[in-house]
DNA sequence: CTATTAATCCGCCAAT
DNA sequence: TAATTGGCGGATTAAT
């Protein structure tokens, strides 16, 4: 999994730096809406990505709702219709493709929609579905071999229709590679906020959450994120406590050896339990948390220098942090911070 | 960026 | 017998 803070522009690294700072491309979001779309689920996308919140420090979005067939569409319940402004060709430029659910789970997908979804994945775009929208993704085959969530009422059906999809139950959403699938209705909000945080960082996600008056999403960041709505009954106390401790002590030695000692188990058992509980390895998890911490400090503490941030986040040196930061977010810590400093863009205007 | 040294990770398997 | 544990080797990945 790779996050690119250059807003998904694959050519960003070749673009002149001052040009990039002066005019950031808007993050391009396109939502596919089917016939008999559910108004609430579609509205989630509109609320998160279709509202200009640049005044709150949120990047601009280029937001569009598209449908395969032009012309007026019915909505589920039939109380009103809707008219989209674009066809599927609009998906070609999208950094993020949303899939809105219809009244019933879609058991088929048109070749055109399927091709557009595959094209988006191969281009490096992200996909997000809400509720039974995961059926559209599954029908297109992009979920094959991946974990996914859907509304609890349809979990069995999804599993039967698409054996290649690993259905995760009792979760709000699942993030596997470039694809986020969310369970019923309101969980779509959590999924979208998670995506925002993944792409733009904690500050942006929290700003949107605050405006929408919902609680900011937590956790995540592994190769495969599963956000649970209820405490996992199979949860591992040893790992949970270890995680709490590690998050409090990111600046300290969090080698596998140290973590094993702290949780009174062998390194081998720690590795196994950790993977069972989080889906990732101890070291990879620590690295991700450290990157998050660094990201957060870059956003919120302009008084700290790179070395201080590296130390606080637990990196041995600024160059180690820089290496991982670039690898994970596609830009250096300094470049990242520049996005959050209001004057950085105007300063170098000639 | 490259090289060298260090740490991590996971299949395997014997011992609980 | 089935399930869990933890040590080992060595390919892979990270730190310096």
DSSP, residue by residue, A15-49:
S-HHHHHHSPPPEEEEEE--TTB-HHHHHHHHHHH
Give the nearest nucleotide to A270, CA to C1': C6
Q: Helices A267-278 and A237-248, interaxial angle, to 10°?
A: 90
User: Residue A41: phi, psi to the nearest 5?
Assistant: -65, -40
Q: Smallest Cα–Cα separation from A148: which of A66, A157, A288?
A: A157
First to last CA, chain A: 37
Give the nearest nucleotide to A256, CA to C1': B8
Q: For C7, which residue's CA is nearest its C1'? A: A268
CA A192/CA A167 separation, integer angstroms: 19
Give A61-77 pLDDT, tens digit per residue. Answer: 999 999 998 879 999 98
% of chain A surpassing 90 pLDDT? 54
> Is the Cβ atom of A257 within 7 Å of strand B at any atom?
yes
Confidence of residue A212 (pLDDT cuts 50, 70, 90): confident
Looking at the DSSP bridge assignments, the partners of residue A64 are A30
Give A257-306 pLDDT, tens digit per residue. Answer: 999 999 999 999 999 999 988 888 999 999 999 998 998 898 888 899 99
> Is the Cβ atom of A256 within 7 Å of strand B at any atom?
yes
- Measured at the alpha carbon of residue A214, what is the angle toward residues A211 and A220, in degrees to the nearest 5? 110
Mean pLDDT of A18-25: 47
Tell me the residue length of chain A. Answer: 350
- Chain B bases under 7 Å from protein CB? 1, 7-12
Confidence of residue A255 (pLDDT cuts 50, 70, 90): very high
> Of A14-23, A125-134, A199-208, which has the strongest mean pLDDT?
A125-134
Q: What is the 8-class DSSP label of residue A86?
A: B
SS3 assignment for A168-209? CCCEEEEEECCEEEECCCCHHHHHHHHHHHHHHCHHHHHHHH
Looking at the DSSP bridge assignments, the partners of residue A97 are A30, A127
Give the nearest nucleotide to A255, CA to C1': B7
- Chain C bases under 7 Å from protein CB? 5-8, 14-16
Through-space separation of residue A303 CA and nucleotide B10 C1' in angstroms: 42
Give A78-121 pLDDT, tens digit per residue. Answer: 889 999 989 999 999 999 999 999 999 988 999 999 999 999 99
Top pLDDT among A23 and A227 is at: A227
Q: Smallest Cα–Cα separation from A65: which of A39, A47, A83, A40?
A: A83
Give the nearest nucleotide to A274, CA to C1': B9
Q: Is the dihedral of CA A86, A91, A95, A98 positive or negative?
A: positive
CA A38/CA A34 separation, integer angstroms: 9
Q: For C15, which residue's CA is nearest its C1'? A: A320
Through-space separation of residue A309 CA and nucleotide C12 C1' in angstroms: 29
Q: Please give the pLDDT value at position A68.
A: 93
Indicate the average pLDDT of chain A: 84
Mean pLDDT of A128-153: 93
Through-space separation of residue A254 CA and nucleotide C6 C1' in angstroms: 20
Through-space separation of residue A266 CA and nucleotide B15 C1' in angstroms: 15
Conformation bin of residue A213: beta by default, left when phi > 0, alpha when psi is -120 to 50: left
Give the nearest nucleotide to A283, CA to C1': B8
């Amino acid at each position: 999994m790779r996050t690119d803070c250059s807003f998904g522009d694959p050519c960003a690294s070749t673009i002149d730096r001052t040009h990039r700072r002066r005019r950031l491309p808007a993050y391009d979001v396109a939502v596919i809406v089917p016939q008999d779309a559910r108004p609430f689920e579609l509205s989630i996308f509109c609320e998160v990505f279709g509202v200009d919140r640049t005044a709150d420090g949120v990047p601009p979005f280029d937001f569009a709702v598209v449908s395969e067939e032009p012309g007026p569409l019915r909505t589920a319940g039939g109380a009103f219709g809707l008219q989209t402004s674009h066809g599927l060709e609009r998906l070609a430029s999208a950094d993020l493709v949303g899939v809105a659910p219809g009244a019933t789970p879609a058991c088929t997908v048109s070749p055109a929609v399927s091709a557009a979804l595959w094209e988006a994945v191969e281009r490096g775009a992200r996909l997000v579905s809400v509720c039974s929208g995961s059926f559209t993704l599954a029908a297109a085959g992009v979920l094959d071999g991946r974990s996914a969530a859907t509304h609890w009422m349809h979990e069995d059906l999804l599993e039967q229709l698409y054996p290649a999809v690993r259905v995760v139950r009792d979760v709000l959403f699942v993030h596997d590679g470039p694809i986020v699938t969310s369970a019923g209705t309101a969980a779509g909000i959590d999924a979208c906020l998670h995506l925002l945080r993944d792409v733009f960082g904690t500050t942006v996600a929290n700003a949107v959450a605050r405006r929408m008056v919902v609680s900011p999403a937590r956790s995540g960041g592994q190769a495969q994120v599963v956000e649970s709505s209820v405490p996992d009954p199979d949860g591992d106390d040893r790992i949970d406590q270890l995680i709490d401790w590690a998050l409090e002590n990111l600046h300290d030695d969090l080698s596998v050896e140290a973590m094993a000692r702290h949780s009174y188990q062998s390194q081998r058992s720690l590795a196994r339990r950790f993977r069972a509980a989080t889906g990732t390895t101890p070291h990879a998890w620590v690295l991700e948390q450290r990157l998050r911490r660094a990201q957060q400090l870059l956003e919120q503490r302009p008084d700290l220098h790179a070395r201080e941030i590296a130390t606080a986040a637990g990196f041995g040196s600024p160059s180690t942090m820089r290496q991982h930061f670039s690898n994970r977010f596609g830009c250096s810590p300094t470049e990242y911070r520049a996005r959050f400093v209001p004057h950085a863009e105007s300063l170098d205007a000639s």
